[in-house]
Amino acid sequence: MNDTSSQLFYFYDRHPISRDIIIAKVRARRGHLDNLRPEDLYEHDQDHYGGLNATDELARQAQIGPGTVVADFCAGLGGTVRYLAHKYKADVTGIEFTPVRAAGAEELTRLVGLQESARILEGNVMDAPLADTSFDAVISQEAFCHIPDVRKALAEARRILKAGGRLAFTDWIAHRPLSAAEAQLMWDGMAIQPLRSMPEYQDLVESVGFRVLSVIDLTEEWRPILKERLAMYQRLREEARHSGTPMGHDAFHESYVLFVDLIQQRKLGGVRIVANK
C-alpha cells in the first residue's frame, strides 16, 4: 500500500461523516429505517460544498437529464450518485477508492431502493473500471485534490466519455503557494496533494484533449459555506464524543481550521471547470 492509499484510508476511516453516523441520525429522526426514501438521506449524505444547489448546478453544466449515463469520480458515500439517479432519472455509476466508503455507499443505496440506477464501485479513478466511450457525463466534487496524478484521472474521464460528452467538476485551487508547514498539515489532516492555480488547472484539463467551456472561481461562494461546515464538523465531533463513535482524528480538525482560514484569506479557493470531449 502506497503513502497516498494509507493516508486516504486513515482519513476516511475516521471521517466525521460516515455510513454509521448517517444511519444513526436517520433512525433517530424516524425511529426506524423502514421504507426509506432518497430524500430521507439528503440532510446527511451530501458531503460537498454547497449541498444540493451545487449538485444541481453541476448537473446543469453537465447536461444531465433522464437517461443520461453518468460517472461520478470519487463518489464517497454516494450522496451525489443517489441524488442524480433519483431527481434527474439518470443512470449513475460512482467510483470510490476507499473500501469503507464504497461499501457504505452501496448499503445506503440499497436502503433507499436505488440500486437499479445508482451504483458505487470500489476502484481507482486513475484506472477506472469502466468501458471506453460509454458515458455521457463525468462529474466530481472536491475530490481530485486527494489524487496523486490528476492528469491520469482526467485522461480516464476522457476515455470513458462518448464523443461530445461533458466533464464537470469542482475542486480546490491555490491562489498563492502554501508554506511547507501549511502543505504538511493539509496532507496530515486531509490527505491533500499539492494544489495548482486556476490557470494551471485549465491547462491540465486541456492537456489530455478536452475543450474547456468554462472556468469559474468559486472562492467567494465557498467562504461562508466553509465556515458553516467547520461549525458542523465541530458539532459532529462533540456528538460523536458523547455517543462513543469515531470523532475524526485531531489532525483533520486542525487542518480544517487552517483550510477555512486560508479560504478566508483567499490563499486557497475553489474552481468549477466544465469541458467536453
CATH of the domain at 85: 3.40.50.150
Per-residue pLDDT tens digits of the chain, which is 277 residues long: 456 667 655 556 556 677 877 888 888 888 888 889 999 988 888 878 998 999 999 999 999 999 999 999 999 999 999 999 999 999 999 999 989 899 999 999 999 999 999 999 999 999 999 999 999 999 999 999 999 999 999 999 999 999 999 999 999 999 999 999 999 999 988 889 999 999 999 999 999 999 999 999 999 999 999 998 888 777 877 776 676 655 556 778 888 899 999 999 999 999 999 999 9
- pLDDT of 245 reads 57
Is the separation of the CB atoms in 252 and 190 below 8 Å? yes
Q: Helix, strand, coil: what percent of the chain each, to 5?
A: 50, 20, 30
The total of structural domains in the chain comes to 1
Which pTM value belongs to this model?
0.90
In a domain, 262, yes or no: no
- pLDDT of 1 reads 45
- pLDDT of 249 reads 61
In a domain, 178, yes or no: no
230-261, pLDDT tens digit by residue? 887 778 777 766 766 555 567 788 888 999 99
Is the separation of the CB atoms in 96 and 108 below 8 Å? no
In a domain, 85, yes or no: yes
- pLDDT of 239 reads 72
- pLDDT of 177 reads 95
Provide the residue range defining the domain that includes 25: 3-171+191-219+269-276
In a domain, 264, yes or no: no
In a domain, 34, yes or no: yes
- CA-CA distance, 54 to 26, in Å (whole number)? 23
- pLDDT of 190 reads 86
In a domain, 263, yes or no: no
In a domain, 58, yes or no: yes
In a domain, 30, yes or no: yes
